[in-house]
Structure 1
Amino acid sequence: MRVLVVDDDFMVAKVHSGYVGRIAGCAVVGVAHTGADAVALAGSLRPDLVLLDVYLPDMSGIEVLRRLRTGAPDDPSVLVITAADDAATVAAALHGGALHYLVKPFDSRALEEQVERARRLRGRLAGLDRAGQEDIDRLFGAGGSSGRLPKGLTAPTAQLVEKVLREHGADLSATECAERTRLSRVSARRYLEHFVETGAVEVRLRYGGTGRPERRYTWTR
């Protein structure tokens, strides 16, 4: 994931670049401190993702967003990162095609989640020749985070598992999730694996001394 960082504050740009540099598989390919430089660097460097501030010295970040999001297949994804929290700016970013909107200050985990989300979306698009409705629902987030549930899974239970993962804030095993939801381990595992397939949950393996590695699940949205 090639990332362009845009912020008028040199120190903030450095901090955000450091956040990105610690995300596996991501690299900062350029830094811009004005809107004009952001547009120029986006054209020459062809980043996958732009971290874009709204308050720039020469033009609004919303105008930069409009110039970057032309509708072309190779347009970069844009994550707006700003202190602006007024509804008009948020709406303008949404209508301009921003992937997400983070209000400063935020922690590195919040940024990492959105960068990972951008990477997943671009990966899914790159892997599609033709898109079925289920593919489209996943890309656009239709139907809530549960998406279309496989046979045997129910929306209320999916929402319960989602709530437990969100509120826990860290990774859980299927056994731990089952204890918190009062489901069987097998049922909890089915819901967790469904969320992995939809991209809402990430799974990592924890290796112990013997036996199979333990699967640990983390909510990513």
Structure 2
Amino acid sequence: MTVSAKLRTIIVDDDVEVASLHAKFVSVHPAFDVIATAHSGPEALRLIAERRPDLVLLDFDLPGKPGLEVLRDVRAMGGAQPEVIAVTAARDVESVRQARSAGIQHYLVKPFTASNLTARLDDVARDRLALVESGAREELAQREIDALMRSGVRARTQLPKGLSGETLVTVESALGSAPNSSAGEIAELSGISRVSARRYLEYLVAVNRAQRTLDYATAGRPSTRFSRNDGA
């Protein structure tokens, strides 16, 4: 991706230092250019309306107007819509459900690592480039349509009985923010039981969206650890 094709990005976070840190993470990625930062809901809405960015890193807990309300107002504007990466401490199922309903495809739970953010930025850059390249042709092959429909979102499949799509998103988001975690640790982050967390984690492993490893560092039986498979 050339410099002229860099994706214009706005960073939104109520904490000035956190916003500055996120801006540094994004700026070092060759596909992105940070054009503004905002620290309140009204400021974010104004900047997004004026600058029409390609990407917004959006915190939910904002003074003046919550992040999800900002996003709903942005969607109501019409026109070209930015991709959004949620960067928030909210890990409850309702917040994740609302985020998905608003079209958010990338959800990072604070605190997260630079590599977690870089993986999401890579996804956004790859998907946007695919859309640009495909837009040069009037018709697409079926495989290209399938790829575009999956951009940023895993192919939707029928979940096993007893598993909820909303809870699955919560578990997968928790796993993304806390790689190499046990089922118990993911359960605590997700607000569900350990047994339920293991069911969701085993499902993610089965569909190649997570990987399972054994940790032999502790005495006795090795513990099972899970990490999100961002390359799947």
TM-score range relative to shorter protein? 0.5 to 0.7
State the alpha-carbon separation in 1 of the partners of residues 211 and 118 from structure 2.
16
Q: Indicate if the aligned counterparts of 2:31 and 2:125 stay in contact, CA closer than 8 A.
A: no
Letter in 2 for 1:136: I
State the Cα distance separating 1:26 from its structure 2 match.
1.4
* Local SS of the residue matching 1:69: helix
Instruction: Classify 1:130/1:166 alpha carbon distance in 2 versus 1 (closer, same or farther; 3 Å).
Output: farther
Matches for 1:35-74 after TM superposition, within 5 Å: 35-70=41-76, 72=78, 74=80
**1:106 — aligned with what?**
112
8 A contact 1:47–1:76 mirrored in 2: yes
Query: Structure 2 matches for 1:1-221, cutoff 5 A?
Result: 1-70=7-76, 72=78, 74-128=80-134, 129-141=138-150, 143=155, 220=231
Contact 2:9-2:34 at 8 Å conserved across structures: yes
Larger Rg: 1
Following the alignment from structure 1 to structure 2, what is the Cα–Cα distance between the partners of residues 125 and 7?
Answer: 28
Shift of residue 123, structure 1, vs aligned partner? 1.4
Contact kept, 8 Å, 1:65 with 1:93, in 2: the verdict is no
Q: Identity of aligned pairs, percent?
A: 35
Q: Which amino acid aligns with 1:84?
A: A
User: So what's the TM-score if we normalise by structure 2?
Assistant: 0.60
Q: Quote the offset at 1:139 in angstroms.
A: 2.2
* Contact 1:79–1:101 (8 Å) recurs in 2: yes
Would the alpha carbon gap of residues 143 and 40 (structure 1) be closer, same or farther in structure 2, given more than 3 Å must change? closer
Q: Which runs of 5+ in 1 are unaligned?
A: 145-158, 169-217
Unaligned runs of 5+ in 2: 1-6, 157-204, 214-228
With normalisation by structure 1, the TM-score equals 0.63
Find the residue that maps to 1:16 and give its secondary structure: helix
Distance in 2 (alpha carbons) for counterparts of 1:26 and 1:83: 24
How far apart, in 1, do the equivalents of 2:36 and 2:211 lie?
Answer: 33
